[in-house]
Amino acid sequence: MPTKAFGGKRNGRLDRESYGWTLVQKLEFLLERESIFLFWNTVIYVMFRAVLVVLAVVLHRSLQPHAPLLTSIATPFGLIWVGSVVAIGVHLMRTRALSPVG
């Protein structure tokens, strides 16, 4: 269900003028709160990275006694995945691709 702030759907088509918000007003709303959006995206990226590291380590420790070969193969892939997520996040932060208006 779409929120009131960003329009509604009518007959399968986006109703851009519903609830009194025009496209310009929506853009102004985002521009006025750009720093909040950028801060929130940074917080989410940091938390996601930390959760991925914990997940890789916990899976390694829990699977080690049962499948040592699988664990020795899967753990490096998990940590490489975390590294690539970190690299992509840093790149997006530097290029400001995560800001709401690009």
Q: pLDDT of 26-60, one tens digit each?
A: 889 888 998 898 888 888 888 988 999 999 999 99
Higher pLDDT, 40 or 11: 40
Residue 28 sits in the same domain as residue 58 = no
| Start-to-end CA span in the chain (Å) | 25
Average pLDDT over residues 67-73: 92
Q: Kindly provide the b/e burial profile for residues 46-79, where b requires at least 16 CB atoms within 10 angstroms of the residue's own CB.
A: eeeeeebbeebeeebeeeeeeeeeebeeebeebe
Residue 26 sits in the same domain as residue 54 = no
Average pLDDT over residues 90-101: 69
61, pLDDT greater than 80: yes
Residue 9 sits in the same domain as residue 55 = no
Whole domain around residue 78: which residue ranges? 34-102
Helix (H) or strand (E) holding 9: strand 8-10
Integer Cα distance of 73 and 64 in angstroms: 11
Q: What is the pTM of this model?
A: 0.59
Residue 44 sits in the same domain as residue 76 = yes
Residue 43 sits in the same domain as residue 10 = no
Backbone angles phi, psi at 77, to 5 degrees: -65, -40
Residue 70 sits in the same domain as residue 83 = yes
Residue 74 sits in the same domain as residue 92 = yes
